[in-house]
Every structure is written in C-alpha cells, then in structure tokens.
Amino acid sequence: MSLPIQKNVPLQTLNTFGLPSSARYFASITSDEDLRAGLQFAAERNLDTLILGGGSNLLLTRDVDALVLHMVGRGVRVVSDDGEQVVIEAEAGEPWHPFVLDTLARGLVGLENLSLIPGTVGASPIQNIGAYGVELKDVFEGLDAWDRHEGRIRSLDAGDCAFGYRDSRFKREPGRWIVLRVRFRLHRHAGLRLEYGAIRQWLKQDGIDSPTAQDVSRAVCAIRREKLPDPAVLGNAGSFFKNPVVDSAVAASLQSAHPGIVIYPQADGSVKLAAGWLIEQAGWKAHREGDAGVHALQALVLVNHGAAHGEDILLLARRIQASVAERFGVVLEIEPSVL
C-alpha cells in the first residue's frame, strides 16, 4: 500500500483543546486516492475510523482505538466566474481562516463575517458554521463527499445537506460521509451583513463609514480576539454549547422571570437564547476545577489551563448543563463532537 500508516501517534497537538490522546493507527490524507487506501486498510483489519480536520470541534476523552484519517489535502480553484458571481472550490484540508482571507484578497464578498473561525474547510458544512448573522448555508454552492454507504464520491447541493442551526445531514448521519471539497458562491458587489451591533460599533470607532468586506473581516477578527481565547495560548474549542432555541411562549416566560435574559427572535417565530448569558447567570463564568475551566471573558467557552484531560472538561460541562437546567429549565447541547 502506498499510503503510509503510522502506529500510536499522539494527537495532543492535533486538537485545539490540547488534550492528551493517541491514535492506534494514523494516516495523512492528501487525495481521494489516499482516502480510498485508508478506508481499505481499515476494512481489511475491521478497524473503526475517525476523520480529523483541524481538531477544533472535538473533545477527546480517551485514546482512539481506530485509524485516524487526517484530512490535509490543500488547494483552491475558481469553478466559474460570470463577472459578478464566483463559485470557488477548496479542498477539505484548507485551513478555514486563511481560505477566507484568500477570497477577500480576490475581491469576493460573502465569507467576511465568518473570519477567524478555527478549523478547516472540510469541517465547515458539517456544523454549518455561523457567526455575526451569517451561516455557511448562505454562501454554500455544493460539495463532494465520500459516501461510505454507497462506496463512491457523491456531489451534494444545499438541499441534499439539510442544513440547520449548527446542524446538517452529516451530523445526523455520523460515520456515513467524508467531505472532500466544498464549493462556495460568492459575489463581487454584494451587500454586507452589518446587523450585529458589535460590528457597526467597531467600524464606527475606527472611523469607517463605507466599509468593505475586508473592513468587516477585520472588525470580526478584532471582536473575536477580544472575546475568545487563542487556542495556541489557552486550549479550547470555541463555543462549547449551542445557543438553545425555544418557542415564543417559553421565551416570554423566561423574560418575565429573568428580565435581563439575552434573546434573538428567529424568522420562524422561535427564539434563540444566549447560552453564554445563561451560564454566566448560573455562576460559572471564570470557574475552574483543576485545569478544566470556563473562560473569564466568555462563559460559553470551556478551556484547558494546561494539564486537563478530556474527562475533566466533559465532567465540568455536565455540571454546567445540570445547573442551567435547574435554574432556567433549559437544556444546553454540547457543540463539539465528544469521543
């Protein structure tokens, strides 16, 4: 087999929490042919597989008794360009934020609100990443993925992917799909999404009255750096809990009992609650148990202060969930995949 397979590979530097774990088998996947070879290796030995991208949406609580396939294939190309709309395709292993900066350098609008999100392009549709009023589905054109049920590569459009809030078909069918490359429909002159007050405030403070997409990207980066810790400095996986979505009657009841609650009405009549506010009000902000903790500036982020294990982070998360449920009657859902 031409694909190099390694044994007992440490994964601590390959997950943004910096959690200790090792893979029984490990291979770097740079092409479709590599993937086929890796899957064949696993099938012949009756091994489970774990698909790894940037490790930014993963909580490892143990060693991985499987073949870890690390998607590191790189490449960006323009699929079509009519002068206004541009379809651009990136391989799964492309780091997300540098890819966003590449599109901005090409004069394209659409991804600026998603700047500085950790991870890779291949992981972006799985979670339907979103920030500051934009979700991946808003700019999604299509993707190619290996369908393990059918044993072939399939091209999927937005309807096939069944995107939802931090959700997709890929999350609801775990183990079936391996994303290979993703296509985005971007624009040269589209309007900017400036609904979030923090973006407008940053632009105003910087004296920018007619912002460009690059200005919005810089604003988003500045805001995120103020609120979220750098995983290279303090291990974390970004937002650890989803913002819960409730019906309007539940939201009204919570507002009556807790007038300061932060809510975001949705187009379908439901209401999104700010999970960070719920956690902070329950008393968990800046809490620390050993080296597992809650970030001092953003209660939505759980952190590894240096020597935490995955079990420590998960135990803290479970305690937070129970506390919020007891106080507000709201169940928080963990956002990262837990192994």
The CA distance from 45 to 35, in Å, is: 16
Cβ contacts of 222 within 8 Å, gap of 6 or more: 202
Q: Is 44 a catalytic residue?
A: no
Return the SS3 of 145: strand
Tokens found for residue 224 = 């995120």
- Of residues 302, 251, 255, 305, the one with CA closest to residue 276: 302
Q: Which of 21, 124, 168, 239 is catalytic?
A: 239
Q: For residues 40 and 2, is the Cβ–Cβ distance under 8 A?
A: no
How many residues make up the chain in this entry?
Answer: 339
Can 318 be counted among the known catalytic residues?
Answer: no
Answer for the pair 210, 236: CB distance below 8 angstroms, yes or no. Answer: no
Active-site residue (options: 166, 169, 181, 185): 166
Closest CA to 169 of 139, 141, 137: 137
Which of 91, 112, 135, 335 is an active site residue?
A: 335
Q: Cα angle vertex 57, ends 70, 199, to 5°?
A: 125
Cα–Cα distance, 77 to 98 (Å, whole number): 14
Catalytic (active site) residue 84: no
Residues annotated catalytic, as ranges = 166, 239, 335
